[in-house]
Amino acid sequence: MASEEQSRMAQSIRMHLAMETEDVLGRISMDEAPQAMGYFYRKLRQFFQQPEGLGHFDKPGIGTFCAQVPLELIEAAGARPVRLCMAAGIWDQAGGELLPAKSCSVVKAMAGMAASQLFFSGVCAVVAPTTCDGKKKCADLIETMGIAVHRLEMPPSKLSRAARNYWRESVETFMAQLQGWTKQKITRKSLHTAIHRRLMATEQFRRLCRLQTKGVLRAVDYFLVTQTGFFDDVEAWTLALSDLCAELEARVAEGRGIEKQNRPRMLLTGSPVLFPNIKVPLWIEQAGGPIVTDELCSATDMFHDAPAYDETCLHDMVSALCDRYLSPCVCACLSPNPDRIRKMISLCRQARVDGVVYQTFSGCLSYAMERNAVAKALADEKLPLLYIETDAGFEDQGQLSTRIDAFIESVQAKRRNF
Amino acid sequence: MRKLREMLDKADINQFRFWTQIFFFALFIYGGWWALNWSERLPVFACAFVQDRCGSCYLLGLQHQMTAPVSRMFSLAGLGILTGFLTFLIWFVLLNKAWCGYACPLGTLQDWITKIRSGIGVRRSQYSETGFKRLKRIKYALLILLILIPLAIGNTIFGSGLSHEFEIPFCMICPGRTVLPIFNADFSQLMIDFSTSTKMILTALGMAVTGGFFVGAFVKKRFFCLFCPMSALQYLLSRLSVLRLVKDGGKCTRCNNCVQVCDVGIRQIAENMEKGDILQDDCMLCLKCVAACPENDCLQLKFLNIPVFRSTDTGFFCRMEKKERGI
Ligand code: SF4
Ligand code: SF4
């Protein structure tokens, strides 16, 4: 009986999800869209509307939380990583029944996703780094639903020797668990190949970022690209990405699309932009401020870094991966977290940013708490900051888009005065 | 000019270093064949016990000079010491610690041993971070000793003057003396001298160090360099050099790639965000870190303030792809 009710609920959530995706994608005007974006729209539609399609991938899926899971290890063990951080309004609602209303949208949405059993058909287990409290408790909850969960224990800091050793051991435990799940050994060769694939992806992603600073790609499109990277096969994604870059480069060569360069250039930071919740970038761009760069764990923080090693032995490659996923991490769950501000300032300078939009989901305390330190550092750089607190869903459109409009207008006015 | 820049950015620094090392090795071991003689004051272990060398190590001369009585050091002999030091300094100032990474034959030899090790698939071992800090000090102790012991010969420090058999104490235990002549088919240094007890102790110690040199170099990259008094002397003077390794902390993402590839495991290169001059004790300016850094202009090698080699995003990916093809 219970299971019948469950499946009915799952059915209804699925319908709502399909509608929500369509609604969001429908808000994106297709006039300006590069042709190569078609791949990403298609993939997202397929992923959110026929999630059982995931099961058709020939490799077992391993769900991941956050951006600290060494994806290369999963791939080297013969599986396929799927980052489960997604923030659909309907999941948020469903998760609200399971977690306190004050928890952040992402965490609730992930709980809701698990409860509606979507995506889990193709995902045989979940890896949850012990980042913020919300994610940790969400992992606990998911485990009670009968899903295999491995906790990738993360140190609370990344600067000390103890933290490094702890992390290394934790990653090694994770490797053993992975091999147990997939019954496939991670070898020198398989890991080397996996690292290389991700390296190529990183190279293309950085190429896209360079174009992004020229303002030729709409921020929504940019975030759809990164979101597709959460679940897509890395080689296919890289290829589509390089097509997109080539098309955009051609546009730049023709001088098309770069007129936006002279609009107020924005950096977006704070809680991640997770599909289908792309409203903030959407409104920022509609207000006329191209997002030229970002400091978000769903975009640059996830795809920008690349490991290096000298000798190609398993030990050194794993060691390089450990560093790749912990050392440059600027997640607000770390204490202390000096690199986040350093990184943001460096990005602002490199991309000649005019203003920063800082979004947090209500309930996302770590990011909300770092706001003042960030605001102070930005003020020292004479950069204005707009702080937005929001959640999944489009209910706050009226209020938020007015504030965003006003902010961009003021940044623009300030630019003119210079 | 832009072409040249691009070429330099994408340069395969490891390969460049490999061939430069071979060049210098040949020069220091066989240079004499072409009647080359550079200098007796080189800042590398171009060992004076090598017959066909083209130059030799400054430390030998320094130890000799220190045997003079202190009173004489303030006369004409002092001038000799001074010019000796200045010659050494001029050589050093040109290349800084790149002498270690690119020219030192003993360093090159260790790198070859490393190649053999990784070739047969044995993985390297590393020091613990605290152990590393402690061991680093030994080379300074050696540097002080190699000056003090000869001083005790010409001067009465221990009551009476020390025996002349202690004239070149460091050379007696340096693996350069025992190992490098082998490449000239000269095995005469590979023995224990039983003629006097002092000689016996010193040469026996030398043989033990030689054994340690090979074993150590096989297990750890650049094992011996950690104890090298030349490296200590160089680091003390490294600020004077025109070749500098600089870091722009603002561009660093703390990705730690530089630490991962560093043969001697220098952490400061990633962790220090303030210091511009990032050259550290034990660094040999091999530039692997610059090659592995994926952030534009974060790490740079500058000669007279002109960037010669710098970290770039494109260069990084170019080199990593090459590595992939290599496997
Ligand atoms: S710090 Fe850089 S240049 Fe110095 S030894 Fe290490 S890798 Fe080589
Ligand atoms: S490789 Fe470059 S960016 Fe990475 S930690 Fe070292 S200096 Fe910083």
In the listed set B235, B253, B282, which residue is the last one of a domain according to the structure? Answer: B235
A355-361/A385-390 β-pairing: parallel
Q: Which residues of B touch A295 (CB under 8 A)?
A: none
User: Which residues form the domain of B267?
Assistant: 243-324
Same domain for B158 and B97, yes or no, is yes
B261 pocket-lining for ligand 2 (C-beta < 6 Å): no
Q: What is the pLDDT of residue A54?
A: 57
pLDDT of residue B235: 95
B64 and B107: one domain? Answer: yes
| Residues B164 and B19 both lie in one domain | yes
Same domain, residue pair B315 and B224: no
* Residue B312 at interface with chain A, using a CB cutoff of 8 Å: no
Question: What pLDDT does residue A255 have?
Answer: 84
Min distance B43 CA to chain A CA atoms (Å): 27
- With a CB cutoff of 8 Å and minimum separation 6, the contacts of B122 are B218
Torsion angle of alpha carbons B156, B161, B164, B168, nearest 10°? -30
Give dist(CA B213, CA B222) in Å, integer.
9
Contact B124 A343 (CB under 8 A): no
Residue B270 CB less than 6 A away from ligand 2: yes
Residue with tokens 């080199």: B319
Atom of ligand 1 nearest to the CA of B269: 1
Residues A112 and A119: their CA atoms lie apart, in Å, by 11
Domain that holds residue A399: 2-416
In tens, the pLDDT along B177-187 reads: 999 999 999 99
Eight-state DSSP code of residue A152: E
Closest residue of chain A to B265, computed from CA coordinates: A310
Do B216 and B271 fall into the same domain? no
N-term to C-term CA, chain B: 33
Which among A77, A66, A67, A65 has a CA at the least distance from the CA of A305? Answer: A67
Please tell me the distance from the alpha carbon of residue A194 to that of residue A178, in angstroms, as a whole number.
15
Check whether residue B223 and residue B89 sit in a common domain.
Answer: yes
Q: Cβ B273–A342 below 8 Å, yes or no?
A: yes
* Ramachandran area for residue A215 (φ above 0: left; ψ -120 to 50: alpha; else beta): left
- At B211-259, the pLDDT tens digits run 999 999 999 999 999 999 999 999 999 999 999 999 999 999 999 999 9
Residue B2 within any structural domain of the chain: no
The predicted pLDDT at position B114 comes to 96
Residues B207 and B308 in one domain: no
Same domain, B253 and B205: no
Q: How many CB pairs under 8 A join A and B?
A: 83
What pTM was estimated for this model as a whole? 0.93
The nearest alpha carbon in chain B to A325 belongs to B255
Residue B264: count other Cβ atoms within 10 Å of its Cβ. 22
B49 and B197 housed in the same domain? yes
Residues B34 and B103 occupy one common structural domain: yes
Pairing of strands A266-270, A355-361: parallel
For residue B292, give the ligand nearest its CA.
2
| Domain-embedded: residue B82 | yes
Look at ligand 1, atom 2, and give the residue with the nearest C-alpha: B289
Rg of chain A, C-alpha, whole Å: 21
Same domain for B220 and B249: no
Regarding the beta carbon of B198 and ligand 2, being less than 6 Å apart is answered no
Closest C-alpha to ligand 1, atom 4: B283
**How does the average pLDDT of chain A come out, rounded?**
91
- Show which of B187, B216, B235 is a domain's final residue: B235
- pLDDT tens column, A21-77: 999 888 888 887 899 999 999 988 888 887 666 555 678 889 999 999 999 999 999
Number of domains, chain A:
1
Total number of domains constituting chain B: 2
- B residues 256-275 near A, CB within 8 Å? 256-257, 259-261, 263, 270-271, 273
Cβ–Cβ of B254/A328 closer than 8 Å? yes
What gap in Å lies between CA A200 and CA A238, rounded to an integer?
7
CB contact under 8 Å between B256 and A342, yes or no, is: no
Q: Which residue has the tokens 């391993």?
A: A62
ipTM of the complex: 0.92
Question: Which residue has a Cα nearest atom 2 of ligand 2?
Answer: B293
Ligand 2 pocket check for B100: Cβ under 6 Å: no
Residue B87 domain-assigned (yes or no): yes
Domain shared by B166 and B283, yes or no: no
Q: What is the mean pLDDT of residues B137-151?
A: 92
- The residue among B235, B257, B288 that closes a domain is B235
Nearest residue of chain A to residue B322 (CA atoms): A196
Report percent pLDDT > 70 for chain A.
96
- Chosen from B111, B122, B317 to mutate, greatest number of chain A CBs within 10 A: B317
Quick check: helix, strand or coil at residue A388? strand
